[in-house]
Structure formats: C-alpha cells, structure tokens
Structure 1
C-alpha cells in the first residue's frame, strides 16, 4: 500500500516552522553567544584597566603623602592639611589615629581606634572608598602607618554601567538579528519558495517544465538546477514507459478482439456456460487494456463522442458486462454522453463492487436526478474501503478490492471529461459507495429533445471544445 502523499509545498507554512525563521533563530543564538563572550571579555578588560588606573592613582597619592610626611625638607612637618588629602590618617603600631585632617569627610579623631581595613574597599556614610597603607620612614613618623583612601563611586558606577550595557546588548542584538534575518531570509529564499509552488503545479501525466533559475549562482541555484535535471530524467522515463505500455496494449488488443468475437459466436451457437464465462473474462481483459491505453496516452488525448441515448440502453450494456447487478432509480430518461466512455466508467465501478461483495454479495446501481446532475450511485455489500486510503483510492495502481488499480482513476477522468465528478466512500449501511455525476443536459430542454435518435451519426469532439 503506498504511503500517504505529503502536504503540498504551496500550503501555508507556520512562521515558527519555516526555514527562514529557523535560520534566523540559529544566527540569533550564535549572536547571543558571541555578544556574551566578546562583550564579557571586553567588559572584563575595560573594568580591569579602570581598576588598575584607580589603584595607580591611589598608590601615587599614598607615595606622595608618605614622602612629604617623612621628609622635613618638604616643609610639611606634622601636618595633614586639606591641601594634601582629607581622606588620610597616620596610625601608630596599635592601630590608633595619631594624625588626621581637621575637615575630613571620614569620621576620624585623634586617639580613636582605626575602624577601617588598611587595604581594600570600605563603606562610610553610604559612600564607597578604597584604602591603601604605607609604612612611614624618616624623622617624624618612622615606624608608623600612613593610610590614604579615595572614593570609588565612579569605579562602581562604571562597572554597573558596563554590566547594564552588556545585558542590553545580549537582549537587543539577538532580537534584531532574528528580525533582520527573518526579513532577509524571505528575500533570499524567495526563489526556493517560488520553485516549490511551481513544482506543485507540475502534472506527472504531462510533459514536465523546468523551474525558473535565480540569477545568483548560489546554493538555491544549485538545488533548483538539480531538480530541473531530475525532472528531465523523470519526463524521459515517463515517455519511455508510456511508449512501452502503449506498444504492449496494442499487441494485446488485436488478439483479444479476435478471441472475444470467437467466444461470443461460440457461446451464442452452443449456449455453453463455460464458453460464455470465458467470453466475460475476455471482456474483463479488453476493458483492462482500454484502461492501460488511456493511462499510456494521458487524459488530454481522450476525446468524447457525444450521443443522446436512452438510459435503458446504457443499463442493458452494463447488464451484459457485469451480470448480477441490481438496478434502482429512474432509467426511463435520456442521457447526453459518450456511451462507450460512460459505460467504461460505470463498468469499472460495478466490477470493483462485485469483487468486493463476492459472488453471493449484492451490488446496486441507482440512477437519479440530483439538481442539475444525473447521479449514478454504486453500492455493494462488501467490507467497505480502508480508512487509510482516502482520496488515494483514485490514484493509478492503488486498489482496495484486488483489482489492477486503474479502474477508479480512469472512471474519475471520464466523469471529469463529461463535466461531472466521481466521489467515493463507505455507505451508511456498510460497504463501499461511489457516486458518479454528470450534467443533466436535458434539464432545461424543450420537446425538441425527443427528436434526437440513439443511432445519430457520432461526431468525435475534443473535450476542450465542449468545456
């Protein structure tokens, strides 16, 4: 049993499942990783440089003040005035303040125990500082400790600003990449989408046409070129297969015609049921060769020969081809059709129904007018159609009743050429049910229709001229 057909590529694809979105999302994730790694590394280097500069400034101030306090020649003596630095102090070996600026922003009084770490960050009055200590030498404070601090608000602000900038870049940059990638992907992949739409319009029963190639020699160009080469090979293979099939059918047709005529005459003369059964088998083979011939030629080569016939005439022909069929509905009217083609289509439906129902089963053909259509309904008492076949039952070589799989495909083509349709499914009472409808050409006709004769000279008319 063939696999279900995939969803056509011209069906609308959800945006989150499209190729362009997935490509844009992939680039966005790559961008996020790059921004995080590169931005984090740059922020780390920048903050490390700022911290080094800050530490150098702090050390420079500490060294300058240490030199001035330790050298009498500087003329500073025991002074730590505001002109030098108001964030400083001199400590004894016990950690008590022995010298501090008078107007210091830090609460330092001479004799107090020093409350801050000698080296490192601290917080005073909500303001961050960083301190640094130096061992003093010289005549005044030899052996004592000089402590100098600088406010580090600017350093912390810079660190917080860099963190926010990195976080913003990690959010905005991938989103912009996703949006721009999605929009650019729509443009860059437009040729691929157009090729998919055109490929869906290719009818394998006809000569396939090449897909248009984009101007740019990129991967899309290579893909479409490969598809075009594949289409050429498919077209050549189908041409060879149809030619071979047509030749086989032609070789089978002549012997079958002679055999059928011989068996019909022998059956009429002798009345032997075995000979009559063999004649029916030749009918079966004849119709199968007709189906194969139509498949080889393609439905565009089919022409209809229109006649106005009595519905009873059509029923008589079907009774001879598929014995044991029950007929219901109104068969007293006239039908405008190609009798041979319509008989072929209905015979295919009845033969499939008989196979499904078995020799003791029931097969019913009902004719009724439904609106402006004449509808032929075929019901059988068989097991019905498999649920997984669906519309694929009308594809060539797909069968649910053990047949060749051509009959339903041919019957649907014949119905379409008559301006009607063929649908199938399971009937409410069980078994398969097929409905073949064609336009009721006499629905609005006057009394002149009665002047039509069944044996009017047939005229072969192309389908394109009738529809």
Structure 2
C-alpha cells in the first residue's frame, strides 16, 4: 500500500488553483527587467534630447554669433578705411584713393547684406537697418563732394562736413551697439548651454537614483515573493520529517510554487493515509497478539510450577527463557497499543492537582534495585515546586521511561542525576546520565516511534523504541514540552517542562 500511494503522488498532476492567474516567476523577472530597461531608456532618451539642445545652441553660437562678430569687425574695418580715404580725398583729389574708397564701400555693403541675412528679426535687425541708412546718408553726402572735386570745382565756403561726420558717427555708434547685442546674445546662449548641462546632470542623477531605488524595491519584492513561499515549504518539509502530515500548505503564488505546494499537500494526504494504515495495522496486530502471548506466558508459568509434571533443569532453563521473552513481547504489544491509542486521541486523561516530587521518589524506589545491581549512583536535586494539574499514572509512565532509559544506558559505576526546579515556563524536570551520549545527527529523531540511539555494541540494551514517543505524547497532552540535549561520549540529558 505505501508503494502504491507513493506512485500516485508522483504521477498526479497538480490542478491549477486560484494562483494560476498570477504572474509566473519568469514573467515577474521579465517585467522587472523591462521596467529597469524602460527607466534606462528614459534616462538615455532625455540625455540625448539635452545633448541635442546643447548641440543646437553650440551650433548657433558658431554659425551665427561668431560669424556676426566677424562681420561686425569687417564692417568696422571697411567703414574706417572708407573714412580715411574720404579725408585724404577731401584734402587732395586722387582717383586712386577714390577707387580704394569705392572698394571699401562695396565691402561694407557686402558684409552688411550678409549680416542682415544672419540676424534674427528684432532689435538686431532694426539696428542693421539704421546702420544701412546712416551709411547710405554718409555715402550720399560724400558723393556730392566727389562730384564737385571731379569737376574741378571747389567746395562751398559754408561746407564744413558736419552732416557727413554726424552720419559717420551714427554708423559707428550703430556698429558699437551691434557688437554689444551680439555679445549679449552669445552670453545668453552660453548661459542656456550651462543651464541645459546642469539640468541634464540633475535630471540624470535623479532618474538614476530613482531607477536604483525602484530596482532595489522590485528586486526585494520579487525575491520576497519567491523566498517567502520557499521558506514556508522548507518549514513544511521539517514538519513532514517530524511526522506531521497535515495538508495545510496554501501557496497560491507564484504559480510554479503553487503547483509544487499542491503536490506537497497531495503527498501529505497520502503519507497521512499510509501512517494511519500503519497505526491501524499495529493496533490490530497488538490486539491479536496479546491474547495468545498471554496464554503462552501463563502456560509456561504452569509448567515452571510443575503443573504438567516434573521438569528437568534443562527444561526449566528453556521455559524460563520462554517466559521472559513472552513478558518482553507483551510489554511491546502493550506499548504499541498505548501509542496507537495516544495517536488516535483515544486515551482518556484524568487530571487532578498533584505534587511531582513524590511521584519521582516512588519511581526511583521502584528502579533502585536496578541501580544498585549496576553500581549506579542516583543524585536527587529536587527543589520546592508547586502542585500542578496532571494525570498521575501517565506522568509516572513518563518518569519510568526517562529514568529507565538513563539507568539502562549508564555504564556500571556511573551517575544518574534527577533535578526538579521551578521556572517561568513551569516545572522543569531533567534526567541526566553519564552514558555514551547520542550523536548529533540522531538527536532530532529519538522521540519518533521505533527510533533508538543505542551504541551498536550494546544490543542488549536496546528496547522497543516506543518509550520516548509515548512520553512525548503524554507530555504534549499536558501542555508541556520535552527534548533532549546530548553529545556523543558525554552523556545525555532529557528535559521535560510541565505547566502549573
């Protein structure tokens, strides 16, 4: 039957539960990676846009502002050159100088036209228009003088050239104002460039920090969503290893772990059924065995008493062995029955207020002959403790198991120490021996049925492996707890705490 149940557990496919609509582990990881990728893409996109803006400002400075400054310088040079030629011509007419003047005038006009094409509509463009008008006025006034000089006529006596000088000064003032505006525009663009860089740096830092924090948050959430159910499954595994087969593992998400949890529950159901079948089998067999074993023991006793005729010495030895083995088997059957009834919750407990020290003393008195025969010293450290509600017979059964084990595994000449004291949790009973101890890897399972930790060379000391399992059930029924502390080669201490 167990093998068949095991096959069913492996073959059964978990049915999808409510968690089937949840995101799988792969989907969660992909979504987190996608979120991080989108944030990284956002940072990159913003950085590219800011770099494009900064590049546009830099190109504007290079293509327009720098060129306008060059044109301003060329116009100023051309205008000053024309002014020098004009003054020399006014003193002494020279056609060569006049041709040089005309070249300077054409250069000025060419540079001015290019500047007007580059200048944006607004104050700079208006300034260039005024510069053009003042330059045209200056040229027209000088052209009147040239026409007189070319005809060989003297200039009028009332002609002082103030209008021409005023037009030239205004043109030069326009050039100065133009240079100031170009510089201001350049400074403004440099500030915009600096602000764009600072803004891009700030936003990049903020988005990077936010992406880092969000990444940590997503990683924590996803990791917790995976680790938390796995931790619960690990705890459930420990419970299964300790003999608890309740199918109460509810892990709807993630779906993969939810399916595994349902498989766990199915396995627990099968294991619980197998465990129940085993307990029923032991209980049934115990009932069936106790009657014939009792008959065998009683029949053996009758033969030993001579009821069946005279018994030889050899027959007496054989009958004695049969009687002892019958007693041992009856004790085993009784232990199996007790454990089966305890596991099924069919043992009635009769609680009443009682003192623990007298029970310990009576149990020690019962076992004293065994201790004396093996030269084992029993040390009692029993303090003042209050009465507690307990089933006296069941607690004595626990004491017999703990003290009997201590005496059984303590070598001749050893010591068994029994201590009772009051603690915050209840009354603490400890039984310590100087036996071979229990290996660490066996310590956790010694309270399971059919588990023993006797040395391999001490087969004569081994019992049924049921005493500690029965003791655990009785202590737990009293609301207490029981455990063992031991190291191989350094003895063992069994501790029981009962609430009062």
Assess if the C-alpha contact under 8 Å between 1:423 and 1:436 holds in 2: yes
Hey, which of these two has a bigger chunk of strand by percent?
A: 1
Q: Within 5 Å, which residues of 2 pair with 1:256-267?
A: 256-265=293-302
1:247 aligns with 2:277: no
Assess if the C-alpha contact under 8 Å between 2:379 and 2:416 holds in 1: yes
What's the secondary structure of 1:233's corresponding residue?
A: helix
1:229 aligns with 2:266: yes
Q: For residue 400 of structure 1, what is the aligned residue in structure 2?
A: 453
Q: Within 5 Å, which residues of 2 pair with 1:343-354?
A: 344-354=397-407
Task: Report the number of matched residues.
Answer: 359
Assess if the C-alpha contact under 8 Å between 1:318 and 1:343 holds in 2: no
Deviation at 1:160, TM superposition (A): 3.3
Q: For residue 414 of structure 1, what is the aligned residue in structure 2?
A: 474
Residue 43 (structure 2) aligned to one of 39, 47, 58: 39
| Unpaired runs of at least 5, structure 2 | 1-26, 76-102, 125-171, 383-387, 456-461
Assess if the C-alpha contact under 8 Å between 1:330 and 1:367 holds in 2: yes
Assess if the C-alpha contact under 8 Å between 1:365 and 1:376 holds in 2: no
**In the aligned structure 2, how far is the partner of 1:437 from the partner of 1:59?**
92
Q: For residue 139 of structure 1, what is the aligned residue in structure 2?
A: none
Assess if the C-alpha contact under 8 Å between 2:350 and 2:391 holds in 1: yes
**In the aligned structure 2, how far is the partner of 1:262 from the partner of 1:51?**
113
When Rg is computed on C-alpha atoms for both structures, the one with the higher figure is 2
Q: For residue 3 of structure 1, what is the aligned residue in structure 2?
A: none
**In the aligned structure 1, how far is the partner of 2:396 from the partner of 2:320?**
20
1:301 aligns with 2:346: yes
Q: Within 5 Å, which residues of 2 pair with 1:47-86?
A: 47-48=51-52, 51-52=55-56, 55=59, 59=63, 76-77=109-110
Q: For residue 284 of structure 1, what is the aligned residue in structure 2?
A: 328
Residue 195 (structure 2) aligned to one of 157, 161, 180: 157
TM-score (norm 1): 0.53
What's the secondary structure of 1:399's corresponding residue?
A: coil
What's the secondary structure of 2:345's corresponding residue?
A: helix
Change (3 A) 1:336 1:195: closer
Hey, which of these two has a bigger chunk of helix by percent?
A: 2
**In the aligned structure 2, how far is the partner of 1:387 from the partner of 1:190?**
28
Q: For residue 409 of structure 2, what is the aligned residue in structure 1?
A: 356
What's the secondary structure of 1:382's corresponding residue?
A: coil
Deviation at 1:171, TM superposition (A): 0.1
Assess if the C-alpha contact under 8 Å between 1:353 and 1:378 holds in 2: yes
What's the secondary structure of 1:400's corresponding residue?
A: coil
Deviation at 1:51, TM superposition (A): 1.9
Change (3 A) 1:73 1:274: farther
TM-score (norm 2): 0.50
**In the aligned structure 2, how far is the partner of 1:238 from the partner of 1:275?**
37
**In the aligned structure 2, how far is the partner of 1:368 from the partner of 1:185?**
48
Change (3 A) 1:299 1:374: farther
| Unpaired runs of at least 5, structure 1 | 1-22, 87-98, 109-123, 130-149, 441-467
Deviation at 1:169, TM superposition (A): 0.2
**In the aligned structure 2, how far is the partner of 1:390 from the partner of 1:128?**
85
1:172 aligns with 2:225: no
Change (3 A) 1:321 1:415: farther
Assess if the C-alpha contact under 8 Å between 1:287 and 1:344 holds in 2: no
Q: For residue 22 of structure 2, what is the aligned residue in structure 1?
A: none
Assess if the C-alpha contact under 8 Å between 1:420 and 1:439 holds in 2: yes
Assess if the C-alpha contact under 8 Å between 2:409 and 2:436 holds in 1: yes
**In the aligned structure 2, how far is the partner of 1:180 from the partner of 1:208?**
34
Change (3 A) 1:264 1:280: same
**In the aligned structure 1, how far is the partner of 2:248 from the partner of 2:60?**
73
Assess if the C-alpha contact under 8 Å between 1:361 and 1:382 holds in 2: no
What's the secondary structure of 2:401's corresponding residue?
A: helix
Assess if the C-alpha contact under 8 Å between 2:381 and 2:417 holds in 1: no
Which of structures 1 and 2 has the larger relative contact order (alpha carbons within 8 angstroms, sep 6+)? 2
Assess if the C-alpha contact under 8 Å between 1:25 and 1:178 holds in 2: no
Change (3 A) 1:395 1:328: same
Q: Deviations over 1:59-83 (max 9, x none)?
A: 47889998x9999999824659987
Deviation at 1:399, TM superposition (A): 2.7
